[in-house]
Amino acid sequence: MARSKKSKVFELLGHQVQPGQRLETEFEAAQLYTHSPLSIPVEIIHGKQEGPVLMVNAAIHGDELNGVEIVRQMINQLDPAKLKGTVIAVPIVNVFGFIHKSRYLPDRRDLNRCFPGSEKGALASRMAHGFFNNIAKRCDYILDLHTGAIHRTNLPQIRANLSNPETLRIAKAFATPVIVDSALRDGSLRSEAEKCDIPVLTYEAGEALRFDPLSISAGVLGVQRVMQAIGMLRASRKKLPEPIIAKSTSWVRASGNGILRTVVNLGDKVEEGETLAYISSPLGHDELELVAPKGGIVIGQQTLPLVNEGDAIFHIAYFKQNDEVVEQAVESYIEELTEFDVDQVTTGQIPLDTQQ
């Protein structure tokens, strides 16, 4: 077996990182009104041996917090002496939104609709341009960590452009139970990176402004598996679970206004015509039933019990495989996560099955 070549010095943001070393630095993205710099935190872990450059970033939407914890746990597990290649860890991209607990920048622009950006554009455009050209463009692979929007939660899933064979390969390696073949969206980091032949996975799991232990564990495990698949870490002998690719998805919307009571959960198999939720007045009158338009698996749902007519309540994925096979894959995946060694995160809520 050929021996791996020793790494050379890695240069980023004006710094030189020696093989087997790690460096914590910042990229100045903008300034506050007070002229205080607003910087994106970055950690570079440069392996002793040659290999690809992987960026793992989170909080492009400033209120999506699970990825911040995933990045923290990931870099704490990495030993540069055993790493092939380089990891660029960026836990918070949208620092403005993060400070204000908001998805958006101060001008209400969505940073993930502003790539590739411009040096002379609006604030969001300038931030996108600086981040992409100074950091993202240096990478061979990108893992972009997200959650559902505020008051909306997602089953752990990968969204990616599966027409790219290498993207498909690493999507399967991440091994969430469900993969959604998602078209590239103009202005997104994923779209711009793919134009530069950089495979990108978008990991979606959990809800904005919340730490969700399952979503965090799944993310840490998925990042580790991708790093094994691209040769950065020693491969595990354990066989990867076979993820299932959704052929399509759709949203079930509220048919009226009122108080929402859901009766299905993320990962549940639902049949055509099955009751998903009830919507009623605060006193329980004028009740409406929300039903599944066809059989599938629930991969996202609203968590806020207050709804208006037309609100997107359930995100359902549809598969070529039997839905029972998919449901079993989800259940097996969740069971496996309980055996994976990650830092424990509590939520302040008592799990229902522990109550007497």
CATH number at residue 53: 3.40.630.10
Count CB-CB contacts under 10 A for residue 299: 26
The pLDDT value given to residue 356: 40
**Statement to judge: residues 219 and 80 lie in one domain:** yes
Q: Are 207 and 153 in contact (CB under 8 A)?
A: yes
**Statement to judge: residues 40 and 173 lie in one domain:** yes
Count CB-CB contacts under 10 A for residue 321: 12
Domain for residue 285, yes or no?
yes
Q: What is the largest CA-CA distance in the chain?
A: 73
Strand partners, 30: 38
Domain for residue 283, yes or no?
yes
The pLDDT value given to residue 3: 64
**Statement to judge: residues 117 and 146 lie in one domain:** yes
Please list, in sequence order, all residues whose beta carbon lies within 8 angstroms of the beta carbon of residue 110, skipping any fewer than 6 positions away.
61, 103, 104, 124
Q: Could you tell me the residue range of the domain that residue 303 belongs to?
A: 252-317
Main-chain dihedrals φ then ψ at residue 37, nearest 5 degrees: -70, 145
Last residue of a domain, one of 218, 244, 270: 244
**Statement to judge: residues 111 and 45 lie in one domain:** yes
Number of domains within the chain: 2
The pLDDT value given to residue 327: 85
Residues of the chain with pLDDT under 50: 1, 354-356
User: Per residue in 192-201, pLDDT tens?
Assistant: 999 999 999 9
**Statement to judge: residues 171 and 281 lie in one domain:** no
**Statement to judge: residues 177 and 48 lie in one domain:** yes
The pLDDT value given to residue 234: 94
Exposed (0-12), middle (13-18) or buried (19+): which is 212, by Cβ within 10 Å? buried
pTM: 0.94
Main-chain dihedrals φ then ψ at residue 244, nearest 5 degrees: -120, 130
The pLDDT value given to residue 35: 92
Domain for residue 142, yes or no?
yes
